[in-house]
Structures are given as C-alpha cells and as structure tokens.
Chains A and B, each alone.
Chain A
Amino acid sequence: MKASAINISDNIQFRLFLISAIVLLVYKLFISTPNSLVHMLISDLLILLTTAFLFLSLLGYFEKRKASPFSLIMNIGILNAFIFFLITFSDSFMSLLFENVNERINNPSIASVLVTLVYLMLIVGFITYVMVTLRHLFFLRQSNTQQVYFVTMLVFFMLASLTAPYLNETKFAFICDTFLIVSVLLMVINSIRISWIAFIVKKEKIALLVLSIVIAILFIVNLNNSGDGTLHNNLLGSFAPSVSEFVNIVMLYGAIYFSVLFFTTLFHIPTAEAFDRKAEEVSSLQYFSKLITQVLDFKELAETVTDITTRVGSADASWIIWKDDEFAPIANKNIGFVDSEHISKFILKKIKWDELTDSAFLKLTDLENNHELSQPYKIAAVSPLKSHGDVKGLLVAVRKGDKKFSDEDKNAIATFSDYASVSIENSRLLEESIEKERLEKELDVAREIQKKILPEKNPEYDELEISSVFIPAFEVGGDYYDFFELSKSKLGFVIADVSGKGISAAFIMAEVKGIFESLAKTFLSPKEILIRANDILKHTLDTRTFVSAAYGIIDLEKQQMKLARAGHCPVLLLRGDTAQPVKPSGIGLGLSDEKQFEENLDEMTLMLKENDTIVLYTDGITEAKNENMEDFGEKYFTEILLENSRKAVDEISRKVIKEVSMFSHNHMQYDDITLVILKWKQKIKIDGDKEWQNSAPQL
C-alpha cells in the first residue's frame, strides 16, 4: 500500500517537473525579449518551479534506497566532474554550433534557445542532484529535528539566487547581500553537523580524506569557472540569471561542506583505530550473545569462539584446548593442528590446568624447538573456559610479531572467555536435554509397543472370573501377560517378565508374544510350550538377557489347571483361608541349554475347587519399594490377598494395587506391575446344563 502511494506521488512530481519544463520551453521559444525584467522574472520563476519539482521527485527516489555515505560522496564527485566538463567545454562546444556565440546570446534563434535550454536543464539537473545528495548526507545519522536548518538554508538559497540578478546593481543590493550572507552562515552551520563520520572504519576514513579534498577542490574550481566572463556565465546570465546564481551558491555550499568534511576526517583519524576496536568489540559481543541462544552444535560454537577471539583480541590465530579423553586442540583458527598441538603442550607444561582463574600470557620464545613452528608465533594469551567453577578448556590466542597484547586486547580476551564459558556450558546443557528428550521418546515408543502387545480385554467364561491389571513403569519393564482361548473348554494363559528395561525389553516382549501365540496353538502342554520357547529364546536372545515365564492351561471340562514355570514368581493359589505358592521347578527362558532346561522343568496339575483363586504376578508388586527402600514383600502381598479372597476378582485387584501404591507412594515405581487373578466358579453338574453351558455364546 505504502509503496504504491509513494510511486504515485513520485509520478505526480515527475509529471509536474515535465510539465513545467515544457511550459518553460514554450515560453522561451515564443517570448524572447531577454532584457525585459518581467519576462526574465517569469522565466526565472518557471525555472525555479522546474528545479523544485525535479528536487522533489529526486528526493522520492532517494528515500527508497539506502545509500552508504561513500556512495553518496562518490555520486557528488562524479556529478562535479560532469559539471566541470560542462562548464569547461561549453565554450568550444558552443563555438562549434554557432558562429558568434555572444551575438547569439543577445539575439537568440530557435536553435540557440533550444541548445541553451538543454544546457540549462543539464546544469539544473546536475545541481539538483548534487543538492539532493548533499541533503541525504546531511541527514545521515542525524535526527529529523535538524530538518528546519536545511529547509531554511534552501529557502535562503532561493531568495539569494532570485534577488541577486535584479537587485545587485541597484541601491537594494544590500537585500540580496543579506540573503547571501545568511545563506553562507547556514551553509557553515549545516556543514559542521557531520555525525556519520564516526561510524566508518579507519580505512574508509583515509579514503574519505582524499576524496573530500579532491571534491572540495572540484567545487572551488567549478565555482571559479562559472564566474564572470565565462561563456557559461554569459549564457546563463542572460537566459536564466538566477540559475547562474544558484549554481554558484550550491558550488559554494559544496566547497564549504567538503572542506569541513576534510578537516573533520583529519581530526578523526588519530582516534579511528580505537573507535574501530570498540565498534568491533560491540559488534562481536552482539554477535556472540545471539549465538548463545542459537548454537545447537558444540563444534560450531567452538569455531565461532575462536573466530571472534582472533578478531576482538587482534590475534593471528586462536584455538581451544579441550579435555575429552586427553587434552587436544579444537576449533583451530588460522593455525595448523601440529603448531597448535606443539604450543598447547608448552602451555599445559607452564600452566596448571585446574588453577587458572584469569587470563595468563606466555612468551612463546621460551618454547623449545621454537623454530619447528611453521609461523613465528611470539606470544600467547591463555584464558580459562569454566563451567560450574571447573576449568573445562583453555582459550588460546597467539600473535606472530613483536607487538604485545595491549591492555585492551587482554580485557577483550578475558571478557570474551567469560562469554564463551557461558555459551559452551549452555551448549552442553542443551545437548544433555536433547539426549534426555530422545530417551523419553524412545521410552514412549516402548510403552506404545507394550500397550499393543497386551490383551485389550479379558476372555469371558461362566466358570471363570478374570481380572488383569497392568501398570507400566516410567522405564518400560518388559512385563507381559496374555490369554489364549484354545478351545471352548480350554484357556491358556501366560505371564512373563523380560530382564532389562526400555526399548530393548519392549522388543523382546514382542518376540515373546509371537512365540507364545504360535506355540499355544500347536502344543497342549505347558511344559512342552516352555521347552520350545526356551529353545527359541536361547538362540535369539543375547547371553545376558532372559525371560521368566509361567504358562498354564485351565481345562473347564476336567476342572483342572496344568502349570509350568520357567523362573517366574510362584503362582499363588488361594483356597479357603490359605495361600499356597504353586512353584514347580524350572529355569528362566534363555538361561540354559535344551537338555538342562527340560530335565529341570516340572509341570503340575491342580484339580480346581469352587472359589479357588489363582494369582499371577510379576516382581513389580513384591519388589515395590517405600522411601526406606523396603520391599512390599510376598508376606504382605499374601496377607492382603487372603483378607480379600472372598471378594470378586476385580475387587481383589483393586485392593492389592491400592495397597502397593500406598506403600510406595514416596518412591518411584521402578518396575512394571502386572497382576492377573482368575477365580474358579464351580458349575452345577447337571448333564443338560453342561451341554447348554458349553455352547453358550461367549460374550
């Protein structure tokens, strides 16, 4: 929106300029009585208007681009050169076109008016451009409140140039003289406000010094050339006298401005170096404080630190001695590894790593085999990089020549090493937290796998009440339980615990599920199934990993349960007021070879009685810990089970879980908790009913 608005107003100014130029042309062509005062005034006003419109449209063009002071000054220089050529060669050029130039001035033909107008427009164009550029220079690094000075100056320029041709040789000459004097005063005032010079670097200042004097001289030469008696003066004096005056005034302003600029620059040069250094420090610190939040990569950060160290400390090379397994130079800047390692060894010999609290300076001339260095490094500044009060690394900056590190350099390096310490620490913390996040993500995946592996719901039988609870630990523990509805009257169940934790345990769980899923369908004896499972797992698991499991089959017809156990917690049978651990012998899966496993594996068969309650669990319950690191324990577990054994299975589970969580509420749950409870409901032994029950839909 704004851009297009500027464009339109730009166009309007430019159109106005064109219109006034054309009017001027028409006026000049048809009314050519040079000595009539009124006509002269009208033509001057027309030229003034044209100049003003040109100024405004150039202004709009300038606003849009961000020019550096240097390009502006170069612009002025080039324009001045043009003006110089224009003025110098106008004489010979005009002579080529017209036989008697001075005659033509007094008696203009159409051709001469046209040529003069083109000449005028060129001069006006250049001068306006110079003025706009000077205005831009004036406003560089200047507050807008100064605008009034500049505008006032412009107004006086106009007044002086308009009045001079008409009043100069009358008794009112003092008026135009006053305007001129005020103009000159304003020029001087406006010329001493050069604030942008402080912000350019030393090299540029020196270039500026040369440029400003050359341009100042050009202005003076142009001013001199456009004086009385030259063709330029004659031409403009008769055609547009105020323009001639205006050109002189602008030339004067330019001469004053650039002379002042020259001296200002001259006085700035001695302090330029200090100023440059300060500016460098400021910009480096800004750059670095940005990096503190940006750098994710330690290596990148270290590179930046050494890069900036060479700049703020005016050093020839820099690196960091970092202690990983051993001391090694890292992030070498402007120095080879061999040299930096050589110097690092010397530094570590001279400086006690842990005791360095401040920057230290070492003469490298003391270095043995100094001549072996590829560069004649003479002095080293060593600063500690600390975090949590410990020295983590040393920041080294070295110099080649005989120039010592100045106090400013020392301060800069010391300050900088403090900054570097902070950001290196940040970078390390960030790395740690990223690692932590990665682990948490991994655990999320593990928990997700676990959730998918465990049965969504319990099977339903008239003769069995089933309840299952699973509470995952933060670090996935590898608990697994499952039911297999083998036939209408047979239910297989398994509970297992993979050794280890985390994502590896979750993957093994998935494998174990696959093994039991397939074995349960093929074999109808718990012992057989566990033997096969051991065969498979012995070959697939790594030596240190194993799985404890208990596998059972309940035959609803025969009212019996067969159970085999491979290293798992005993299965508890609650019958009446007693709790018996059912613990047939067996080694954990994946621990022993086929023969040994088979020889030591027993299978038990249990006849079920009404309200027999079978409790399967993992050690997450019995090994749940309180704040004193005491176990929940089998004894307490059994007590709670017995107290509640007459209740429904869900109620029993709830009670146990409630007790476990109360017991360990001050301690993190370290392992998965799995609790599966099956309760046998005696079915009525009527033949007809039996038939009916077995065919009942299982919902």
Chain B
Amino acid sequence: MAEFSTSIVGKGNVSVINLSGYLDAHTAPTLENNFTELIDQNQFKIVVNFTDLAYISSAGLGVFMAYIEKIRDNKGDIKLASMNDKVFNIFDLLGFPLLYEIFGTEEEAIKKFIESDGIGTK
C-alpha cells in the first residue's frame, strides 16, 4: 500500500501536523499517535496541514473525530488547512466544513488561533 508519514512542527503555541501520502485504515494509527502525543503534552491548539496528502479514506476522517471532543473540552481545536480539491471534496461530502474550520493555508489557521487567543484574553 501507499506510504503515509507525518511530522509535527511547533509554531508558537500552535502545533502543526503535516500529513503526506495516503491516510487510510492501515495508516491511521500513525496520526492517532501524533494526536495522543500532543494531548499528553497538553498541546490542544492543533493545525493539520494537508498540502502533501494525496488521499484520505473514511477511516482517516475518523481519526479527527476521535480526538476533537477532548481537544475542544480543553479549549483547543483542530483546524484543517491547505487541502487539495479532491481531499476537500471528501471532507465536504460528509459535512466536515460544518464541524471543523478549514483554511486555505496553514498561516490563516494559525492566525485564527492567535486572534481567538487575543479575544480570549481581552
């Protein structure tokens, strides 16, 4: 099967998970580990960058659902960024845009976190 890999980059108090390759039932555990890792470190502001992701299956989508509740309970969020049309289409069909904020670029997603932080502190 096709390869899948992730990398985590910290940008300020936001963590960015970069996805690349094919995310399906077999590769999903890798991403799940990333989320558990971040949650263990109390990193709840997470942006997932889809730039290099070629394909996502329904099981791949499930990973985001598995952690969102816990992250939002801790005043964090998962924001999705930089999807290609095909991947966006899959998210869109299932109504994910109603459940998650999806941004054109990673920067916009991070900016959104900073803005909401600002509102929060005021």
Chain B residues with Cβ under 8 A from A544's Cβ? 59, 62-63, 65-66
User: In the complex, A497 Cα to B66 Cα: how many Å?
Assistant: 19
Chain A residues with Cβ under 8 A from B95's Cβ?
566-567, 585-588, 591-592, 600
CB distance from A622 to the nearest CB of B (A): 10
A545 CA to B58 CA in the complex, in Å?
Answer: 8
Asked whether B58 lies within 8 Å of A548 as measured between CB atoms, the reply is yes
Say whether B119 faces chain A, with CB atoms less than 8 Å apart: no
CA distance A592 to B99 in the complex (A): 7
Q: Is the CB of A546 within 8 A of B94?
A: yes
Q: Which residues of A contact B96 (CB under 8 A)?
A: 587, 591
Contact with B along A540-578 (1 / 0, CB 8 A): 001111101000000000000000001111100000000
Task: Please judge, given known A-B contacts A543-B69, A545-B62, whether A501 and B94 are in contact too, CB under 8 Å.
Answer: no
Alpha-carbon distance A592/B58, docked complex (angstroms): 15
Task: Tell me whether B99 and A546 are in contact (CB under 8 A).
Answer: no
**Docked CA distance A570–B90 (Å):** 11
Cross-chain contact A499 with B93 (CB below 8 angstroms): no
Instruction: Please give me the residue from chain B that is nearest to A502 by CB atom.
Output: B25
Which size class do B's interface residues fall under?
20 to 34
A546 near B58 with CB under 8 A, answer yes
- Contact indicator B93/A567 (Cβ below 8 Å): yes
CB contacts (< 8 Å) of B69 on chain A: these are: 543
- Residues from 78 to 109 in B contacting A, C-beta threshold 8 Å: 86, 93-96, 98-99
| Residues B94 and A548 in contact, CB atoms below 8 Å apart | yes
A596 within 8 A of B: yes
Is A629 engaged at the interface, CB distance under 8 Å to the other chain? yes
CB distance B65 to A500 under 8 Å?
A: no
Structural contact, B98 and A500, CB atoms closer than 8 A: no
Please name all residues of chain B whose beta carbon is closer than 8 Å to the beta carbon of A570 when the two chains form the complex.
93
**Nearest neighbor of A583 in chain B, beta-carbon distance:** B93
Q: Do A499 and B99 form a contact, CB below 8 Å, given A544-B66, A548-B94, A629-B2?
A: no
Give me 30 A-to-B residue pairs in the complex whose CB atoms sit less than 8 angstroms apart, sorted by A's number. Answer: A497-B58, A498-B58, A499-B58, A499-B62, A500-B58, A500-B59, A500-B62, A501-B25, A542-B66, A543-B66, A543-B69, A544-B62, A544-B65, A545-B62, A546-B58, A546-B61, A546-B94, A548-B94, A567-B94, A585-B95, A587-B94, A587-B98, A587-B99, A588-B94, A588-B95, A591-B94, A591-B96, A591-B99, A596-B98, A671-B57
Give 4 nearest A-B pairs by CB, closest first. A587-B95, A544-B62, A499-B58, A567-B94
Apart from A546-B58, A548-B93, what 13 extra A-B contacts exist at CB < 8 Å? A498-B58, A500-B62, A543-B62, A543-B65, A543-B68, A544-B59, A544-B65, A545-B62, A546-B65, A548-B94, A587-B94, A587-B98, A596-B98
